[in-house]
Chains A and B, each alone.
Chain A
C-alpha cells in the first residue's frame, strides 16, 4: 500500500507518456515519503499518531493521508498524477488524482494546527491546489495566475497555513480546473474542533464522501473533458453502485455524514428510515435554531453539507441521490419508450440484418436489471446490484446504511443482509379481500356526471438533457 515502486508502476500503467514528469530523487529526499493507495475499498479510520487527539472520519471507498510532525507542523505530501480508478468491478477509468487514487486522500487536521502540504506535480501540465472554504493567506489560496504561479510538471510546491476554523472542506485544482476536475482531481478535508464545541456534537461514526460525475463514453476509459452537463457516470468518491461500500452503523450510534458536491449539478441526497439534521454547511456548524429534521437534503454545486442522525432503526436502509437517473449507470439519452409496443414478431426480420438483435422494452425496463447481454467493454449495465430479494436495478449514487444491534463499536465490517423479524416484509396477497365499508346513499341522481372523462396523457420524460 505504501510502496513507492508500486506508485511508479501505476504511473506507467496509466500512460507512460502522460506521466512524463518524473521527479528527481534528490528533490524528494527532504520531503515526507509520499503515501500511495492502490485499493479503492474503504479504509478504517486513521487514529491520529501525533498532535491533538480527535475522532477520525471514515472516507467512503477512500482513506486518510498520514502525516509527519515536523517541529509542530503537520506535513503532508500530495502527488498529483494520472491514476486508474475502479468505479465498480468491471469498470475502470483513466483519471487524474492524488497519491494513486481519485479522489485524493482525505486530509484530517485539528483547528489551530499549522499545516504544511507539499504538492508534487506528476501531471503533464501545470496544476495547483485550492483549499476550498479555508481561511488562509491569499497567496495560499491556489488560484493559478491570481494567487500563485502554476506548479510546473515535475516540480513540488509548498502550501502552509493554519487551519483556523473547524468544519468540512474540500480541495481541488484551480489550474485548468474544468479539465482537471473532469479528470477526477479532488479530495476531502476535515478540520476537527480543538475543544468541545457547543455546535459540534461528538458522534460515534463520522463518514465523508464527495459527489462527482464523469462523462465516459461506454467502451472507453477516459472521461470526456469538454462535457458541460451531459455526464453519464454519477459517483460518490469515484465509485458507483454496486461498487460503493455500505455505511456500517451500530444501532443507536450517533452518525454524521459529510458530503461535498464537485459535480456540475445539484443532488437531493435522501436517507430512508431516519430523519436527520443538517448540522453543518460550507460556513461551519449551523446554529441550533436553524436545524430542522429532514429526510432529503439538496446539495448545490460546490457546496458541502454535514447531516447527523440517531441510527435507532435497525435494518438495511437505502441512501441515495433522489434524481432517479443519478441512480443509474451509463444510459442512452435518446432511447425511445417501447412500452406497449409488440416487437417479438419483427425480431426475426431485424435479426436478418442485425444478427444478435433482441427485442427489449415492451414491458418497461426492469428486465434490464436481470438480463445479462454482451455490452461494450469496460461498461457497467445501466441497472445492477443483487439484494436479498433479487435484482436491485440501481447504479450510480446509491448505497445502503446498515444499522445493526450486534455491530461492535468501531467495527466497520459488513454484517451481511438484515434479517427481518417474521411478518415485517411485504408479501404477496393471496386471500380474499374483505369488502370495505362504503356509504351508498351519497351522490346518486342529484349531481350526475354530464360527460365521460376521456383525455389520456402519455407520460414521457423530457428529451432535452440539459440542466441535471
Chain B
C-alpha cells in the first residue's frame, strides 16, 4: 500500500510541478497597465476632476477623465478582468477526485476509498496551456482595443462639442449685426428714407439669423451632453464644464505616409488578435488529435484489496474522426482569418490615411485660401463703403455672406480633427478588430 501510495505521489507531484511551472495566472493591475500602454492611453491612475474643470477642458484632460473616472470605463475593465480569468482557466488541470464508500453489510463494514484523476489531462497539459495563453492574449488585445475605441469616442465627442460652441458663438455675432441692420432699417423707415418693402427685407435677415442661433444653441447643448456622458460627469460637474473657444490649430507637420506604413507591424491590435486566435486554434487542434481517440483515467483504490484501476474508453463507435476534422477546419479558418486581417489592416490604413490627408488639405485650403479670399472681399467692400460707392446695408449684407465661409471653415477643421481621431485608432489597429 505504501509503495503504491509513493508511486502515486510521485506521479502526482511530478505532474503538479510541471503544471505549476507553467501555470497560467492573471496579474490584473499589470494586464490593465499593459493594455493602457498598448492603446497609447494617457498614464495616471487618478484624476482631479474639480481641478480640471476649473479651466476650459482640453482634449487630453477629457481623455484622462473618461479613462479614469467614467463608470462606463470601469464597467468595461471589470468585464475584461472576468474574461481574462475565464480564458486562463483552460490552462489548469481538472482537480483529482476522491471518493469514499462506507457500506455496512452482513459481512461487516466495507470501506472503499478512491482517488482518481484524468491521466490524459496531465499528459496533454502543455497543449492546454498553449490554448490558454493564446486565449488570454486575445483577451488582452480585446481589452486594449476597447480602450482605443473609448478614446476615439471621447476625442470625437470633444471635437464635436468644441466645434458646436464655435459655430454657436459665430451665429450670435451674426445675429448682433443683423439686429443692428434691422434697427437701422426701422429708423430709415421712420425717417421716411425706406419703404416697408426695404425695411421688411432687412428685418427678414435678422429673423433668419435668430433661427440660426436657436438651432446652433440646441446643437451645442446636444454635443456637450454627449461629451458629458462619455466623461461620466454628474449634473454638478456637467454644469461646471467649459470647453476651449475654438478647435486647436491645424498641425504644421501632419502624419505622413511613411509614418503610417511604419505602423504596419505585428504589434497592431488587429493582427495580434488574429494571431492569438490562430495560435489558440492550432493548440486546440493538437489537443484534439489525442483526446478524440480516447480518454484515460487512473484510479487508486484502497479496500481490503489495493490496486490501480485504469479506465479507458474504447474508440469503437466514435473513432474521433469528426472531432479531428472539425478542429482541422477551425485551424484553417483561423489561418485564413489571420491572412484576411493583414489585408484588411492595410486597406483600412489606406482609407483612414486618405480620409485624414484629404480632410487636412481641405482644412488648410479653407484656412489659407477661402477664408483669406473672403476676408479680402470684405476689406474691399469696406473700402467701397468708405468711398460711398455702396451703402451700409450692402456692407452688412456682405458681412452676412461671410457667414457661410466662416461656418464652412469651422466645419472643415472639425472634419480634420474627427479624421485625426479615427486615424489614431487606425494606426493602433482598432478598426480591423473583429469582435
Contacts and interface: CB of A to CB of B under 8 A. Distances in A.
Interface of A: 218-219, 330-332, 334-343, 346, 349-350, 352-354, 356-361, 365, 368, 373-376, 379, 381-382, 458, 460
B242 to A, nearest CB: 22
Contact of A349 (B177, B193, B385): B177
A276 B179 CA distance: 57
Contacts, number: 112
A355 B399 CA distance: 10
Given A349-B180, A350-B180, A339 B193 contact: yes
B380 A346 contact: no
A358 B387 CA distance: 12
A218 B177 contact: no
Closest 5 CB pairs of A and B: A353-B177, A373-B386, A349-B180, A458-B192, A375-B387
B389 A331 contact: yes
Contact of B393 (A219, A336, A346, A360): A336
Which of A342, A358, A375 has the most chain B CB within a 10 Å cutoff?
Answer: A375
Given A341-B188, A352-B177, A458-B193, A365 B388 contact: yes
Chain B interface mostly helix, strand, loop or mixed? helix
Given A337-B193, A353-B173, A343 B184 contact: yes
Nearest to A359: B392
Interface in B386-409: 386-396, 399, 402
Which of A336, A338, A353, A368 has the most chain B CB within a 10 Å cutoff?
Answer: A353
Given A341-B191, A353-B396, 9 more contacts: A218-B384, A334-B390, A340-B192, A346-B184, A354-B382, A357-B395, A375-B386, A376-B380, A460-B193
B380 A349 contact: no
A313 B417 CA distance: 79
A336 B187 CA distance: 13
B389 A330 contact: yes
B176 A335 contact: no
A282 B167 CA distance: 67
Interface string B160-184: 0000000000000110110111011
Given A341-B188, A342-B187, A349-B177, A330 B387 contact: yes
B120 interface: no
Contacts of B98: none
A350 B393 CA distance: 11
Contacts of B402: 353
B194 interface: yes
A335 B386 contact: no
Contact of A339 (B191, B385, B388, B391): B191
Which of B187, B188, B387 has the most chain A CB within a 10 Å cutoff?
Answer: B387
Contacts of B389: 218, 330-332, 335, 376, 382
Contacts of B198: 336
Contact of A336 (B176, B194, B384): B194
Nearest to A460: B193
A336 B392 contact: yes
Given A332-B388, A381-B387, A354 B396 contact: yes
Contacts of B387: 218, 330-331, 373, 375-376, 379, 381-382
